[in-house]
Amino acid sequence: MTQKKPSPAPRGTGGAARKKEPQANAQAAELSELRPGQSVELLKELHILTREGRLNQDSRRKLKQVYHLFNFIEPLLTELSADGGGPTLADHGAGKSYLGFILYDLYFKALGHGHIYGVETRAELVEKSRLLAQRLGFGRMSFLNLSVAESSAADELPAQIDVVTALHACDTATDDAIAFGLQKKARAMVLVPCCQAEMAACLRQGKALQLARTPLAELWRHPLHTRELGSQVTNVLRCLYLEASGYQVTVTELVGWEHSMKNELIIARYTGQKKRSAAERLRAILVEFGLENALGPRFGLAVAADVTEAVAAG
């Protein structure tokens, strides 16, 4: 009796299955980079994950930056919520609110209380964030179509905010965020400054006079050096201003320089100990660069001619 041979499998079936296995494994490996319980739907909406749930090189870079920043902010939130209260956080220059949404998803959602306020000048981004928060059920998020400066007097924000963040807030918007934090008696500020053009413009105005007065002016004789030095000096002044206002300041890198050139992270925690020496050094730096009248008020200094001359002489 002749045995019947088994029917061959349809051509191509085995190959397709073998192709799907590596794809599924690769997707699983990418999803393993996410935090436990993190919303895949949110990451797709923020375009950090593709519609197929994959990570590309650009989205992996964005995710790394936000995770790294979250690692600095989470301990502050934990400390603030230790007494059972709900921390409030204002995110200035929020853009698409990557930071706010991920903070809510990873921390505020499980906490059950607390509130995040996203402040952004572009109305279309504010509306998109509102709709996304509603769709995801993120009920304790508010989005305000305001500038950082306008938000200080906005009725939609409470009288006190626990944490102030400003991620790549351009030029003087970082200073506005600091002023907001001081007004709202913030217990912590987390800042990543960007594009400090004001200082460079001020340095250029008095360049000829400064070159004649001090050899230090060679530090900003060339336009490229003016821009870079202006950025550094601005951030130094910000740190001194925060220390003079009662904050303990730490300066570090946000991520590796290969990911972003705007990489300086300033973390300020309120201690109530105002450093007089910080205010004195702040004034001395402004005097040295001839900027005490132009920028002194921005950093909380009332410029008095007699004091200015005494500091310059000393």
Read off the pLDDT of residues 72-120 as tens digits, 9 standing for 90 and up. Answer: 999 999 999 988 889 999 999 999 998 999 999 999 999 999 999 999 9
Q: Hey, is 243 helix, strand or coil?
A: helix
pLDDT of residue 262: 63
pLDDT of residue 314: 44
Give me the residues paired with residue 265 across strands. 252
**What's the angle, vertex CA 176, arms to CA 153 and CA 156, rounded to 5?**
30
Length of the chain in terms of residues written: 314
Strand order in the sheet with 163-170: 141-145, 115-120, 88-92, 163-170, 188-194, 264-270, 247-253
Average pLDDT of the chain is 84
* 223-244 and 197-205 helices, crossing angle to 10°: 120
pLDDT of residue 257: 47
Give me the residues paired with residue 163 across strands. 89, 188
pLDDT of residue 14: 59
27/40 Cα distance (integer angstroms): 12
Q: Is the pLDDT of residue 271 over 50?
A: yes
Cβ(287)–Cβ(258) under 8 Å?
Answer: no
Whole-structure pTM value? 0.82
197/134 Cα distance (integer angstroms): 37
Structure tokens at 1: 């009796």
User: Confidence band (pLDDT; 50, 70, 90) for 308?
Assistant: very low
Alpha-helical (H) ranges within 184-246 are 197-205, 207-213, 223-244
282/284 Cα distance (integer angstroms): 5
Choose the most confident range, by mean pLDDT, from 14-23, 93-102, 237-246.
Answer: 237-246
pLDDT of residue 285: 93
